[in-house]
Chains A and B, each alone.
Chain A
Amino acid sequence: MLIEMSHINKKYKKTMVLSDLNIQIEQGSISGIVGPNSVGKTTLLNIMSGLVMPDSGEVFFEDRPAADFKSLIGYVPQEIALYQDLSVKDNFRFFSGVYGLNKEKAKERMAYIYDIMALKDLHRIKIKNLSGGMKRRINIGVELLKDPKVLIMDESTVGIDMGARTDILDLVKKLNSEEMTVIFTSHHMSELESICTDLYFLKDGSVVLEGKKQVILGKDGEKRTLEHLYNEIYRVSE
């Protein structure tokens, strides 16, 4: 297993967000974390990335404590965490410096990112002048500077049009084909269904259903859509 989280508990003030959560992420998978708002998806991703410490429980990366592997994990936050007044190139230059990349490595990674994201013509443009979809792509691109083994994407397709979403999903598939493990959250069930290989349903602070997409959606001999399954799990309880 690439990432293993066991018996994770996390509380914010009096609210229990994650309760005895166990999850295992397979190497080379595209894992979708499914659940409505406030179910603890972002908290789970924050703990996975090392940004937040759990109250109890353990996180392992390739069977070793995950805290030692921060540089191998790319975390794309929900917000556009970029300097809006700087150009695309200046943002990449800054973050490659912060991520401790030397000049050559930074140049090499930037060339790769420009190529994979088709950004070459945009590198002089300020972030604030780009479209929402393009901002989202660069938000992801910054994390690719690290050349991470795992890319954690927290609702990276929120607030953008269909075309831009398709571009991001294609990018995820492309990265996955280069053996990058991707952990993905989204409120669009169709997106998760189209790209994920594994699915994890969060409810009441723990995983209530997990497994390979084909197995989960084809359970009990009948093929269901993810949206149908989502409604079954969450609407019934409401």
Chain B
Amino acid sequence: MIHIIILRIRMFLSKKIMLLLFVVFPLLFSFIALNYLKADDFEIKTTIGVVDSDQTDFSENVIERLRSDSSLMVFAFDENSGQEALIKEDIIGLYIIKEGFSQAIKTGKTQRIIEVRYLADNYTAPGITDLITPHFLMDILKEQTMLTVNKAVFTDNPELGEKFRELFLEYTVMYEDSEDLELQVILNSIDSDAEKPIFSTSKEIIIRYFLSVILIFLIITGFYQAIQVNVDKEHGIISRIKLSQCPYYQYVLGNILGIAMIVFIISVLQMLLLKNMLFYHLDFAKVILGLAIYALSISLLSVAIMAVLKKGSDFQTAIPYLMIAIWIFGGWIYSETVINTGMLQYLGRIPGMMIKDDLINQFTNVGQNIRRENIMMEIGFQFVLFCLIYLKGKSGYNKNVN
């Protein structure tokens, strides 16, 4: 069996085009993408809706400030149309400024003055609170400062209190416009046991997509190697193996493990790059375990599909086109973050998909574990797939060939 495993790895290493396509290119892609992701000015726009029920200069001022935020794309709605836009997923969240918002803040009552609505199954949406809070927190702080100063110093002189208010607002507005007030988020990892997100919502979406593309690359690598197994059959090599002392189960297992090893080694190289460039918090032990299971699932899935297809070499020419298509569309589907349709739920039962989310969460959250039930399900499906491959191949192996 070990000879078959070594053969698969040797075959992979012997083709420069394979190394370029499945090792160098993905690593280069990761390197460029990580540099882009690392850049402080990197941000994509998060689309939110705003309902101004307060209709005051004060609330308008907050909305203007939201609009000036380069990371947000802000649309004004009334409550009903905002709700519809939310359901249609035109916006990721609806930010409602309640009636009496300005009055409440001016009087120091800051409870229940805003409401953020989002779809229950969109787990990234609550993160928009982080994006919008700083914009009205400024007003709350200003008003609170004025209230406290007026109460403490100008209780007996309301005219002086009003003068102070004008001067304070004038200078704070000037200060708001200054570049010194720019909000900077440092994205370095933090040691923590808590399950908390590390990145902003918008950044997390891009990261999940990026990681999905890497995982898809690994799938394609597995499939391409499985095609090579079919090519063995077409070139008569299988006849030699049939006549050798190599039992059939060893041939099958050797191929499966060989492909899994290739996928695993490439994925580890990727992880080393990711950890050293951006995801400093990665727990390598957990990731390695997840990747090993993922690689084996991908290998079994690839070999199983190729066992059904008669002529593997026919699919070789399709691979470059398939890669481009998957690059463009697959990543978005696989990441599940952007497109979330009912049909895709079935994909969750395909080997590899059960552990995929846990793997991605290792990158975006701190303290996440790879769930045991997912590991067990993956192993269960792997066993079923192996039985299918073995039985399907065994009957063909015993069949007479002309």
Residues of A within 8 A of B (CB): 10, 12, 42-43, 46, 49-53, 70-71, 73, 75, 77-83, 85-86, 90, 94-95, 97-100, 126, 142
Contact = CB atoms under 8 A, between A and B. Distances in A.
Interface string B211-237: 000000000000000000000000111
Nearest to A53: B400
Interface of B: 2-4, 6-7, 10-11, 14-15, 235-237, 239-246, 400-402
B194 to A, nearest CB: 50
Given A70-B244, A83-B7, 7 more contacts: A49-B243, A71-B245, A78-B236, A85-B11, A86-B14, A90-B10, A126-B14
List 6 A-B pairs, minimum CB-CB distance, nearest first.
A97-B3, A79-B236, A81-B236, A100-B245, A85-B14, A77-B236
Given A97-B2, A98-B3, A83 B11 contact: yes
Nearest to B246: A98
A142 B240 contact: yes
A78 B235 CA distance: 10
A212 B222 CA distance: 54
A43 B237 CA distance: 17
A77 B401 CA distance: 12
A18 B237 CA distance: 25
B237 A51 contact: no
Contacts of B402: 12, 42-43, 46, 52
Contacts of A98: 3-4, 240-241, 244-246
Given A83-B7, A85-B14, A86-B10, A52 B240 contact: no
B398 to A, nearest CB: 8
B401 A46 contact: yes
B243 A70 contact: yes
A95 B14 contact: no
Q: Is the interface of B mostly helix, strand, loop or mixed?
A: helix
A139 to B, nearest CB: 9
Contacts of B246: 98, 100
A152 B287 CA distance: 52
A90 B11 CA distance: 10
Given A85-B15, A90-B10, A50 B244 contact: no
A75 B243 contact: yes
A82 B4 CA distance: 14
B11 A86 contact: yes
A137 to B, nearest CB: 16
12 contacts: A12-B402, A50-B243, A52-B402, A77-B236, A81-B237, A81-B239, A82-B237, A90-B10, A95-B244, A98-B3, A98-B4, A98-B241
Contacts of B240: 75, 77, 81, 95, 98, 142
Contact of B243 (A42, A51, A90): A51
B319 to A, nearest CB: 16
Contacts of B3: 94, 97-98
Contacts of A51: 239, 242-243, 401
Given A42-B402, A81-B236, A100 B244 contact: yes
A99 B11 contact: no
A99 B235 contact: no
B243 to A, nearest CB: 6
Contact of B235 (A12, A53, A79): A79
A142 B402 CA distance: 22
A73 B7 contact: no
